[in-house]
Amino acid sequence: MNKNSSNMMALAPNTSNKRETVCIFGTGDFGRALGHKMIQCGYPVVYGSRSTQISNLIPKDAEVLSHTEAAQKAAIIIIAIQRQHYNFLTQLEEILHGKVVVDISNNLKLNQYPESNAEYLAQLLPGARVVKAFNTVSAWALQSGALDASRQVFVCGDDMEAKQMVMNIVRALGLTPLDKGSLLAAQEIENYPLQLFPMWKFPVFLSLGLTAFFFFYCLALDVIYPYIYEKNDFSFFIALTIPNRVCPVMALTLLGLVYLPGVLAAIIQLYRGTKYRRFPDWLDKWMLCRKQLGLIALAFASLHAVFTLVSPIRSFVKWRTSKTIISQALNNKTEPLDTTNAWLSDSYLALGILGFFFFVLVGITSLPSVSNSVNWREFRFVQSKLGYVTLILSTAHTLVYGGKWFLSPSAYKWYLPNIYMLSLVVPCVVLVVKFVLIFPCVDKPLTKIRQGWERNPKYSE
Ligand code: NAP
């Protein structure tokens, strides 16, 4: 019964042209922008302000009254005032009793106060039906209409009917309400606009650290070593050659790191014989940022593709080609075509192109607009199966490229392995473990565990 009535309420604003008056406390940036949008959508707006003087900035058609007078005119009061000024609201407690009071405030720091602003407001006005909403929408977006990226409005509150009334307004403004539950969720909603790419921090810092390490590794082996031992100045390698070595190494290492937590999780589940024990925190966090790691890996792979495509127009490459031709002309001898080398070079390029193609496909399916249009099984197929195909192709691309130098002592300057050998470590570990995991004697118990079976059940019947 209740459910039906709330559904009917949700439809109500669309079926009637008459909108209820909304009161906004505060004629600041947000109050004005929200009022303007509401008037555009047919809501009569009345402002409650410390000064009842009408300024040019206040939307036309809006009334400006004292707080008491304005609150008396509406059932919904939106508090567009900073939290530190909420104290004066206690004087209006009687007028606000039973009314829907909407807290839209944000803080300057994460968890700035012990309780959320909305809970604080509810403490100040125990008789009011406090709802948290609109804090994730900016005044600028409301004013300019640039709401594409922030169409979602998180709403929470303890009073279902009050929450529905606010959600109806949100819908009427062309935004999408997202019910986050009771007022307890307000703290999380208030922290949301303060977060700066939270899921990207670890992948970005890890990538920066690894890029710096690989860059200096290449610098030592490809520029400093030849300078010291052969008196060759290859410092210009810093511009293109070294980046084109670091990018594929980063792409392959990060791609391996996308799939490594999955195989670690499988080993942990097999060892514990249950899926009902939490993974260590670090593994949980790692698994949550796999998409970001994958997208950064794709960016490195794309850079590698561009660097490789421009390679033939580099003066160093042109010089090296003409040097070979001239030396053949001077010796009056044409080198015969080495078909083994031709095979290796074509295979390595083909594997790289195919690997990049699948990598782009996997990357595209991780975009919300695409992933929303496929079902869970299709999504898993692309992310897991095609992801592994990408990893296999990219690893094979690197192996074919450098495999022939594995045993050559010249590949170990200062006894250090070449950088492409380092890039093979993580992907090879992942592929070998994955290979073991798909053996039926390992896969069967793992599948059973993932379906809920336990080796030593804690609660047996
Ligand atoms: P603002 O421009 O500083 O305006 C705040 C308004 O509060 C003032 O214009 C004033 O209105 C009123 N006020 C100031 N001191 C007061 C006091 N001592 N007693 C009573 N009223 C007082 O701030 P804003 O940018 O509009 O932000 C208002 C609220 O919306 C904040 O809580 C903010 O976190 C939230 N918010 C803002 C945005 C945004 O993009 N700006 C986005 C989301 C949420 P009167 O002069 O009319 O009394």
Residue 51 Cα to ligand 1 middle (Å)? 14
- Which atom from ligand 1 is nearest to the alpha carbon of 30? 26
> What's the pLDDT tens digit per position in 408-442?
777 788 989 888 889 999 999 999 999 999 999 99
Confidence category of residue 147, pLDDT binned at 50, 70, 90: low
Over residues 52-59, mean pLDDT: 84
Over residues 149-158, mean pLDDT: 86
> Which letter, b or e, does each residue of 157-189 get, where b requires 16 or more Cβ atoms within 10 Å of its Cβ?
bbbbebbbbbbbbbbbbebebbebeebebbbeb
Query: What is the share, in percent, of the chain residues with pLDDT greater than 90?
Result: 69
What's the confidence (pLDDT) of residue 52? 87
Residue 135 Cα to ligand 1 middle (Å)? 12
Over residues 381-393, mean pLDDT: 92
- Is the model's pTM score more than 0.75? no
Residue 58 Cα to ligand 1 middle (Å)? 14
Choose among 238, 215, 212, 214: nearest CA to 227. Answer: 238
| Strand-pair partners of 77 | 23, 101
Pick the CATH number of 22-194 from 1.10.1040.10, 3.40.50.720, 1.10.10.10, 3.30.70.930: 3.40.50.720
Instruction: Specify the range with the lowest mean pLDDT, choosing from 275-279, 335-339, 457-461.
Output: 457-461
User: What interhelical angle do 201-218 and 241-272 show, nearest 10?
Assistant: 130
Which pairs with CB-CB distance under 8 Å and at least 24 residues apart come from 55-63? 55/27, 57/27, 57/32, 58/27, 58/32, 59/32, 59/35, 62/35
User: Does the pLDDT of residue 15 top 80, yes or no?
Assistant: no
- Ligand 1 pocket test target in 23, 25, 30 with most atoms within 8 Å of CB: 30
User: What interhelical angle do 160-172 and 2-15 show, nearest 10?
Assistant: 30
Cβ pair 130, 103 in contact under 8 A: yes
Residue 25 Cα to ligand 1 middle (Å)? 9
- Ligand 1 pocket test target in 36, 79, 81 with most atoms within 8 Å of CB: 81
- Which atom from ligand 1 is nearest to the alpha carbon of 141? 40
- Which atom from ligand 1 is nearest to the alpha carbon of 81? 7
Choose among 392, 401, 306, 305: nearest CA to 348. Answer: 401
What's the confidence (pLDDT) of residue 459? 60
Within 6 A (CB) of ligand 1 lie 26-31, 49-51, 80-82, 85, 88, 104-106, 135, 138-139
What's the confidence (pLDDT) of residue 393? 97
For 114, phi then psi, to 5°, come to -60, -35
Confidence category of residue 199, pLDDT binned at 50, 70, 90: confident
Query: What tokens does 225 get?
Result: 């070593």
Domain boundaries of the chain, sorted by first residue? 22-194, 200-330+337-451
User: Does the pLDDT of residue 28 top 50, yes or no?
Assistant: yes
Confidence category of residue 403, pLDDT binned at 50, 70, 90: confident
- Taking the C-alpha atoms of residue 267 and residue 218, their distance in angstroms, rounded to an integer, is 34
Query: What tokens does 50 get?
Result: 């410390």
Residues with Cβ within 8 Å of residue 22, at least 6 apart in sequence: 38, 43, 44, 45, 46, 74, 76, 78, 169
What's the confidence (pLDDT) of residue 17? 62
User: Does the pLDDT of residue 315 top 50, yes or no?
Assistant: yes
Choose among 6, 79, 75, 9: nearest CA to 44. Answer: 75
- Ligand 1 pocket test target in 34, 47, 82 with most atoms within 8 Å of CB: 82
Residue 143 Cα to ligand 1 middle (Å)? 16
User: Does the pLDDT of residue 68 top 70, yes or no?
Assistant: yes
User: Does the pLDDT of residue 384 top 90, yes or no?
Assistant: no
Residue nearest to ligand 1 atom 9, measured at CA: 28
Over residues 155-180, mean pLDDT: 95
